[in-house]
Every structure is written in C-alpha cells, then in structure tokens.
Structure 1
C-alpha cells in the first residue's frame, strides 16, 4: 500500500514535469521568429521591386520551379522533373503533385508560363532567355514546354536564379494581367508561409504565419532546395535603423535573427556564446557599387563614367564600413564576385589602382563643365550609407558638382527606376550593394546582363558587348563560357557600366537557440525551430 502511494506520487510528479516540458516546448514553438532586415519592406512584388528586402519577403510566400542547393547545383523545386531534347532546344517541365496557391487554387502549367513571361520581360537573365525562346506552351495542367529558337545554355540556371529578380510563380490571373513594372494587386503564392496584409506596417513590420496548404518536398532542406518545412507558426520582419539598437536587441533576445550583423559589433558578437555568426562566403558576400544613369548628361559620356570608376577607392570604402580585415577583399577587382566561378582579373587593368588625379584628368579630357550631378544617398541603410559618404566626398575632390539628396532607401528606389530629367526629380548616381549571387553570372550581372535592353535603371548599351553576350548564351561548355565571361568583363570595365566599390562579408547573426538555420547568404526561414520546441 505504501509503495503504491509512493508510486502514485512519483507518477504525478513525472506527469506534472512532462506537462510543463510540453507547455514550454509549445511556447517556444508559438513564439514569433523575429528577423531584422537591412531596410524596411515597402514593395511586395518580386518582379516590380528589384531589392533584397522584397526578395526576402518573396521567398516566404512564393516558390520557384528550380532551386539552387548549398553546392551550387540546380534541383527541381516545384517541378517533379524536366526533360531536354537531343538537340538541346526543347525543354519539357512537369510540376509535382499537390501544389496549391494560398487561395486554394491548384498551381497549373498556365500559372508557370504566365509568371515566367512576366519575369522575362523584366529581369536581365529572363529577358535573354525569352529572346532565345521560340515558344512557351501549356501541354496539360501539370506540363509546359519551352522551345528555343536558338541555343541557350543557361535555361535551368535562369529558372533557378537565386537572387533579384527571382522567377517566382504566382497565379496566371495576376501575372498575365499585371505589367512587370506594376505591383500585383494581391499576394497569392504557393510558398511555406502566408502574408498577413492586415498586420503589415510598411517599412516597419511584416507578419507571416505557416501556410497549411504548403506541401514541402520529401528530401531535407539544402540551400534554397529541398523540403521547405515551416517549423515555427509565426514570423515577423521588423525594421531597426540604428545598428546599436540591432546589436542590443539580438544580444538581449528581443529579436532572433539579423539579416546583417552590425559590422562595428562583429568582435562583440563573436565573443557571445548565445549568438551564431554566419560563415557563408563568396556569393554570400556583399559587393558595393555605384549605379550610373547612362540616359542623360553628363554620364552619357564614357570618359565621365570612367572618372567615377577612378574615384572608387576600394580600401577606403571598405574601411568606412569598419569591416575586420578577415572579412574584407580590397584586392578584388573582378566584376563577378570573387569566390564565384567566373571571377578573374581579365581586363581589369583600368581599376586595379584608382586615383583622384586620374579622375580629374578624365574629366578635363571629357570637357566636363560642372554640370549638376544628383547623388541619391540612402541614409537609412547601415550598409549603403557609409559607402555613399566616402563616394560623395571623393567625387567632390575629383571636381564633380554634386547635389546630394538624402532620404530613405525605399524613396530613392522609386526614383531609381524612373527616367525623369534632373529638373523633374531625376537622378545621376546612386550607391548600391548587391550580393555575390547577383554578380556571379554575366547574364544576371548588373554591369553586363542589361546591355541594350532598355531596362531601368540600367540604361547602358555597348554594341561591342552584344555579340559576345550572344556567344556566351549559346555556349554549353563551362570552361569556354568562363573565357567568354572574361571578354565581357573587359568590355564592362572599359565602358564603365557599373563601377564596383569593394567586396566584403557582412554576415547574418542569429540566436544560438535556433536550430536548423540554413547558412546560405540571405535569410532562409524555413527549417528553423527553437531549441526544445
């Protein structure tokens, strides 16, 4: 009898402890995962809004036909498979079973064709794929065919493009009826999370919950590929403009994940056992640059663009970011991100040693007479603001007549895609940052891929580059493509299409209690769960 009483008490204690552990796990699972982005979210359409923050948003709610894994290999995502004809001109794509949009409609081949056409009218790589395409047609509800008019060696790479602008799939009723420069009226995707529009505060907070209709792939998550399992119920994107506030918030556990660790605080973060600093490099690194408006004077003159190119001292710009030495690549002169396949020094002689004196000589040779240059400075971006401050000071030293206009990134981004004259709100120069993923391939590289496309904001057009791009597009052999990429690099540098300002790592940081974080180079928020959940 006594033993029975003891057993009952022990069992009750175990039961209470089990309930407490279960409740604790449930609380951990239900607690929102809070991510701090570099800038606030304003645009919800990944095709109309070519920015990292919109890309991050879109990976939450949309999905892709093809995805790239951690090894850089392209794998089916929404697709079950693809088949390529013997002559390499016809691709047949079949969707996997069970795909649904968030409104309950099934994902069909018609949705895929409409989405790819809209993306292909906007993105640099997409435009080139569409130009090489004879026809895209629906074969049945789950199958569509892409028939090429001429050889194009990067079809799968185009469909699996990881960063801006990504060929996400949305319903045909939206994609087919919305111009690519106009945001779609609804956010309807087939991704792992749902966007709660009624809780969205533009530029401040964005809220998501798990999508109950999403059916992940069976294989483990790997990079952007594999099973996108949403293991937390709710995710919040929040905006904190002050780097010190971000650092305090992640250390105190008020937020879980920073898209970019505040660079000044990296040594402190490295010493904190409760925090994990991302290790991804190469394509995951940041590359600074300056977007030039080629459409109007004075930058329709190549000599004046080359003067801007000479102003960009990589060491000084990276130093302004405060990047630790082992996080910086001041010697990287390639227009392709160093650490990626096409990176080389071919044709980079003009930018290996930059200088103000050379910039002044080029301006004198060009006959620059002090025309006004509107310099847009995004003050709210912790990454871009320091780069821009160094740029504008050196531009002044070289003799440019600058009209510096300071605002938040979202406001400048809207002006960036316009062609207004300076007197009507136009612009001349804008400091920007890209990831190495965006610069890794010539056809997606901002200084090459938009050549003679007329697409904003990249208004450059070099006739000598066009046939070289065509050779690159048609080439299937990777080694030969690398040689052609070197030719394209030489032309891009000579034409000063998109002068670069240095490559460095600005890694993400997250709380150590988060398990399953995919260290890819930008926030991937599926597969994550809290320790104990």
Structure 2
C-alpha cells in the first residue's frame, strides 16, 4: 500500500505532496529537510520534531518539564552518594524490526551516545560504566554526582535514543536504517518533497494519561507527513490556504494574516527562547578575546530584535540567560549586554591589532529572523571597523558547515529556554564551539556536581557572569515563537518540539 501510495502522490506533486488515500493525514510544514533520521547525531529542532515519533529514550519530559519515565519502567533508584543509577526497563516493548527491548540494547545505545552525541560528550568523562544487570535492568555508575543526568537522558535533541543493539555501529559509524520503539515508523521518503510516518503496528504505549511527551502516546493519524518548506512565506501561504495542517517557525509579521484567515489560527509560544550567536573558539578571528569583546560591544540588540520580529509583543531586550520567573534568572554580568557602542568596539579592535580579516557570519533564511538580525548586525559591525562576510546557506548546509571550524566565525541559531542549563551544550569544551576557559570550566563542573537547588542557582549566576566576561556565546534577547495550525486540527500541544501522535482533524 505504501509503495502504491507513493506512486500516486509522486505523479501529482508540484511543490509539495497532497495525500489522497489515508483517512486522517496530518500535513506538517517544517523549515527544511532533516539531514538525518538519527536524533542522536543532531541538535537541530527539525530533526527532533520528526524523529521523536519514531525513536524513544529512557525518560522524557511531562507538560511541566519534569523528567518522567518512557522506556524505563519508573524513575531510577539513585544511591545515597548520587553516583549509581539503577534503571528498570519496561517489559514487552518492541522495536519496529520485531525485536524486543532489553538491557543489551540500552547499554549499546548509551555507549554510542556517550561517544558521538554532542550532549552525550558533555557527560562522558563523568561516567564510569554502563552495564546490564539482567535482561531488563541497567546500571549507570558515575565518577561523581551529576545533577543533570536524567534531563540529558530525557532530551529528544541530540537524544540518548535507544536502538536495537544489532544496528548500533562501532565507533563513529552511522545507522543506515533507523529502528525505534515509538508509535510511528518511517514510510515513504521523497527528498525535498515529503517524509511519511505510518503507525507502527507493534507499538506498546505506556498506561499513564498523556502529559506533555510523557504518558500514553497515541496513534491517531493514519499518516503524518512532514513537508520541507524552506521559505517562511510559503509556509504561511500553505497554512492559510488549507494545504498544511500545521506550519512551524513563522515570521512575526504573518500573525495578523493568519489570525484573519478562515482556515488557520496563529499559535504564539510566549517566552519561547533566545536567539544566539554561537562563537568559534576553536579557530579563526574570534579566538582572540579582545575581538570577541569588540563584537559584543558593537552589536545593537534592540535594533536586531526589532528587525527580526517587528513588534515588541514578539521580543524583549533582555541579557539574562533565563527570563524572570525562572529559577535560573540572574542579572549577573548583564551590564555588558546591549552596549551598542561602536567607538568602544573600534578601540578594542585596535588593541587587538585587527588586520581587516573578514568576520564570517554563517546564517540561513529558513529561519528568516536569523537572517534579518544578521543584516542589521552587519551594518553596525562595519561601522565599528569590522569587515563582515555574510555566508547565507540553507539550513542543512549550515548544519554541515558548522561542524568544520575552518569555515565560520559565528553561526546564528536559537534555543528554547530549557529546564536544565546543562542541556545547552555550549557551556562545555566538548561542544561544537569548543569554548574552554579555566575559571568557567571549574564553575560548570561544580554546577553539574551540585545537587542542592539553591547552591545550583548561585553557581549558575556565577556561570552567567563568567560567560559575559569571556564572551563565550552571545544572547541576542528573548523571543516568542509563532507557529500556525488549521482550525480543524486538534490534539497538538504547543511546544518547541510539537508532536502529532494524538493529532486529528475535526
């Protein structure tokens, strides 16, 4: 059936596929083609949104961002010294290749995650061992207490995904065909047109009521179809015309148009997250701290945010790494934020002996607000004395280039505000940006080892101050994210990584 369906659809396609045969088909417009279907090897949201339907983790987050069990039977039993985690696995869970989940699968998957995943690498040197303790039990031994461990194991981004041990490659090898335990499996894939997910008939859900990504996961749609639509305005037009049931990452200026539509409605995720300039500490111009300080001094964050979002209901000029209301909120170090001082930046460039080497800014128009921020920043940086080179590529190419430190000085990205700061891998020397500074590294090590909440808050405030002092990465501000959905769509909970296993059209 899947093969005949793909033939019918391929003949009918123009720019996107229009499903014809399945009863409840959910069409989701995403910003681009996922460059991998293996969530372990990518931090891209577009990868997480798709793959969470197919591949599962030991734990997940509920609707309040609390860690909850998924493939694990319950939350782990943790030793009094905080260094041993005993994890019982659910019995009777199947992979889509027909094999049954057991401890060997978990051990092989977690060992691979610690070696190759950007988030796994942040904790790898703290892990003493991952061992099977029977067919449905696993033990993780830590060298020292590590407070963020469960949050890392629960995150669907650079995920600690669980695969059958038989398909887990050795070393840095890639998985040719991704197999998971989730409610859906991969169906037809026409690159740059659509990726079809179909229900996995052997799926074994949890019994608890659905709560965020936790609890019982359904199989309501007969088909979920992810359609890569790189142009943001095309995503908007497809939504308001009824072509798409859901569209991700929409421009702020499209809010009114969607609101007036008779077929769609806007969904605003308030206090969603922060745009960030990721700085290359491994190679190039910004390995010089003075030049990083000049960059920070020159950037006009208020102008950048206004250009990106157009209306202050969509953004806030705020230097704190977490907004007010979060336990992690602090004002430490934020005097260095939004200086907008080209003269100071110019003096810092002179002190650094800047020779006119171009500052290479890597960005994409698939997230249009990234590009708009970069355009405004370019003018301000050139006024301060920088020579700027804008490298504008598609999102998949950006994902490839940022892995090579010889190709960029800054790449622009964004992140939701995450419940655990250690989920932001840029804090760790093992991350893609390679930021290592002795004082900061010592504070981060203390932060991840501390279990007392108040002490952790104080340590994070110190981390923030040290981040501003060394210019590890640059927060632009806070923003509200805009998505849109058909008025007929129900069962989709607003989230940075929306899932569609309970989605239906009225």
* TM-score, normalization by structure 2: 0.90
Q: Which digits, 9 at most, give the CA deviation of each residue in 1:50-100, with x for residues without a partner?
A: 211111121121011111111121111111122122332211111112211
Runs of at least 5 residues in structure 2 that lack an aligned partner in the other structure: 1-19
CA distance in 2, matches of 1:133, 1:446: 17
CA distance in 1, matches of 2:480, 2:35: 26
SS in 1 for 2:185: strand
1:305 aligned onto 2:284? no
Report what 2:283 is aligned to: 296
CA distance in 2, matches of 1:483, 1:39: 39
Instruction: Single out whichever of 108-117 and 348-357 deviates more from structure 2.
Output: 348-357
Distance 1:352 1:441, change over 3 A: farther
1:432 aligned onto 2:413? yes
Report what 2:371 is aligned to: 385
CA distance in 2, matches of 1:413, 1:243: 18
Structure 1 residue 240, shift from structure 2 partner: 2.2
1:444 aligned onto 2:420? no
SS in 1 for 2:444: helix
Report what 2:185 is aligned to: 194
Alignment match of 2:433 (pick from 427, 441, 458): 458
1:75 aligned onto 2:102? no
Structure 1 residue 118, shift from structure 2 partner: 2.0
Distance 1:123 1:265, change over 3 A: same
CA distance in 2, matches of 1:288, 1:311: 17
SS in 1 for 2:29: strand
Alignment match of 1:514 (pick from 468, 475, 489): 489
Structure 1 residue 124, shift from structure 2 partner: 5.2
CA distance in 2, matches of 1:419, 1:297: 8
Report what 1:526 is aligned to: 501
Distance 1:405 1:255, change over 3 A: same
Give the number of aligned pairs: 486
1:166 aligned onto 2:147? no
SS in 2 for 1:67: strand
Alignment match of 2:229 (pick from 214, 221, 240): 240
Distance 1:322 1:465, change over 3 A: closer
Structure 1 residue 406, shift from structure 2 partner: 2.5
1:504 aligned onto 2:479? yes
Instruction: Single out whichever of 366-375 and 122-131 deviates more from structure 2.
Output: 122-131
Distance 1:358 1:270, change over 3 A: farther
Q: Which digits, 9 at most, give the CA deviation of each residue in 1:27-53, with x for residues without a partner?
A: 997242011112222222222222111
1:262 aligned onto 2:281? no
Q: Which digits, 9 at most, give the CA deviation of each residue in 1:412-439, with x for residues without a partner?
A: 221110133xxxxx222222222222xx
1:171–1:188: 8 Å Cα contact kept in structure 2?
Answer: yes
Distance 1:220 1:431, change over 3 A: same
Task: Please say which structure displays the higher CA radius of gyration.
Answer: 1
Runs of at least 5 residues in structure 1 that lack an aligned partner in the other structure: 1-26, 421-425
Distance 1:247 1:462, change over 3 A: same
CA distance in 2, matches of 1:436, 1:338: 12
* TM-score, normalization by structure 1: 0.86
CA distance in 1, matches of 2:325, 2:258: 25
Report what 1:480 is aligned to: 455
Structure 1 residue 444, shift from structure 2 partner: 2.2
Q: Which digits, 9 at most, give the CA deviation of each residue in 1:362-389, with x for residues without a partner?
A: 1112111112333223233323222222
Report what 2:84 is aligned to: 90
1:43–1:183: 8 Å Cα contact kept in structure 2?
Answer: no
The two structures, once aligned, show a CA RMSD in angstroms of: 2.1
Structure 1 residue 310, shift from structure 2 partner: 2.2
